[in-house]
Amino acid sequence: MDRIGVRALGLRHYAQVFAAMKSRIDSDPEHSPDEIWALQHHPVYTQGQAGRVEHVLAPGDIPVVAADRGGQVTYHGPGQLVFYPLIQLRRRGLDVRQLVSALEVSVIAWLAELGIAAATKPRAPGVYVDDAKIASLGLRIRRGRSYHGLAVNVAMDLAPFARINPCGYAGLRMTQVADLLPAAQIPGLEVAQRSLLDQLARRLGYTGWDYLGDEGIASDGIDTVAAASEGASDER
């Protein structure tokens, strides 16, 4: 069975996960198995390689971390589901555009299951509901392997997005699942994470996915915080 392993890492600091991804990529990119890391981040702004300082308007007490992914500045925080596909593209028969499409289509299909109509935009990676962005993408290919990935706004505080120009666009509206559905229909974060993983595995050409431990990740210095998928993840 061609299944992909998933590491559900809970709530983690961005800089430490970033370092762990790079370490994993450098270790043995050709032969190490493909994985998806599924998690949430403590509040942080990340500035991509195309980022400009003028798009970080008023970060205040939220740290700004430079990342080697594509794209410009974005915000991560609790209630936003993040997925990092660490995939050897050639082994999967994928190119970068196909990977981006698979990530976007996964989100669109999941939102459709919830009754939310979403779409992509030309020359503006991500997923949108009308003109508001609900999912952001930023990738890096290094030694033939992808890292960084996808962030989906589910039930989070969107206010910090107003302190930046998201993705380099002044006035870009952000939205989330919690603002688009009646309260009784908003999925808990654990349910949402599992459903999105189902979509991601399918669109990336796997027959399914299996949870892995976090061996080799916590030892890289990542603090272990109560996993969002183990309780707090069901808050709405």
CB 43 within 8 A of CB 11: no
CA trace torsion 87, 83, 119, 130 (10° rounding): -160
- Among candidates 7, 200, 224, which has minimal Cα distance to 192? 200
CB 5 within 8 A of CB 212: yes
The pair of three-digit structure tokens given for residue 16, joined into one six-digit string: 């430490």
Distance CA 154, CA 29 (A): 32
The pair of three-digit structure tokens given for residue 235, joined into one six-digit string: 């808050």
Which one is catalytic: 167, 189, 227, 228? 167
CB 116 within 8 A of CB 180: yes
Is 167 one of the annotated active-site residues of the chain?
A: yes
CB 46 within 8 A of CB 73: yes
- Render the burial of 197-228: b for 16+ CB within 10 Å, e for the rest: bbbbbbbbebeebeebebeebeeeebeeeebb
- Which residues are identified as catalytic? 167
